[in-house]
Amino acid sequence: MKKSLTIFVTATNTDIGKTYISVELIKRLSSKYKVAGFKPIETGVTDKAPDTLKLYESSNISTLNIDDCIAYKYTLPAAPYIASKDIEIEYIKNKLEHLKSISDIVVVEGAGGLMVPIKKDLFYIDLINILGIDHTLLVTPSSLGCINDTMLSINLLKSKGISFDWCVNKRDEDFEKITKSFFDDYFKKYFVYPDNFDELVEKLKHLNC
């Protein structure tokens, strides 16, 4: 049986566009594969978890229910470690394994950035390795200051030996003027949403071959 592919979507910080990009990935990959979305932990919610709901509604698996798509949710809008000290990683792993058993691809959305704490000595970048994630997508902003944030996150992913691509979520019209030329000169390849996002999707499809 072919192994289910897991893609972890992270970002340089909060409110960069992880959920939006995750939903776009799910929708486009769903044309060929059974795809589920998974948000291990969502904070700042009361009853319904809005990010999880978007992932669930984008998924194309008929047997899926919204509870399959989330492990923990908390009211306090803070890092998981602050919101609760009772997070069990094994429970998150079990949730993911269930999704993998019914999916060709699982898109896992993180929270905030790579160094957001889940436990005192465990961060989201550690969770990527603990869950055995196949490939990571780093979403970066297009605003002034994004070069520094992008470089820090990329270097951290490299230092942990994590397989990844990265994508600029282009929401700032000044991107071409204040940032793009450096990225073009420094990197052999990177992706920009929406400019060449379809090319990224095709690359991810080939990871599932």
Q: What is the mean pLDDT of residues 6-26?
A: 98
Work out the pLDDT band at 24, boundaries 50, 70, 90.
very high
Overall domain count for the chain: 1
Per-residue confidence band for 95, with pLDDT thresholds at 50, 70 and 90: very high
Q: Is 36 annotated as a binding residue?
A: no
Cβ 111 vs Cβ 41: under 8 Å: yes
Helix (H) or strand (E) holding 103: none
Element spanning 132, H or E: none
pLDDT, tens only, 183-194: 999 999 999 999
Residue 186: Cβ within 10 Å count: 11
pLDDT in tens, 106-130: 999 999 999 999 999 999 999 999 9
97 labelled ligand-binding: no
The reported pLDDT for the residue numbered 47 is: 82
For helices 18-29 and 50-58, give the axis angle rounded to 10 degrees.
10
Report pLDDT for 102: 97
pLDDT band (50, 70, 90) for residue 1: very low
110 is in an annotated binding site: yes
Sign of CA dihedral 5, 101, 69, 66: positive
The phi and psi torsions of 112 (rounded to 5 degrees) equal 60, -130
| Residue 16 marked in a binding site | yes
CATH of the domain at 201: 3.40.50.300
d(CA 28, CA 171): 20
* Residue 67 CA: distances (Å) to CA of 1, 70, 104, 128: 26, 6, 19, 21
Catalytic residues: 39
Helix (H, G, I), strand (E, B) or coil at 125: helix
- Is 132 one of the annotated binding-site residues? no
Please indicate if the annotation marks 43 as binding a ligand: yes
State which residues form the domain around 195.
5-207
Encode pLDDT of 126-171 as tens digits: 999 999 999 999 999 999 999 999 999 999 999 999 999 999 999 8
pLDDT over 50 (residue 6) = yes
Give the CA distances from residue 142 to residues 8, 27, 136, 150, 174, in Å, rounded to whole numbers and listed in that order. Answer: 20, 23, 19, 10, 8
Strand partners, 123: 117
What's the confidence (pLDDT) of residue 19?
A: 98
3-state secondary structure 73-91: EECCCCCHHHHCCCCCHHH
- What pTM was estimated for this model as a whole? 0.97
User: Does the annotation list 102 as a binding residue?
Assistant: no
DSSP-derived secondary structure letter, 33:
S
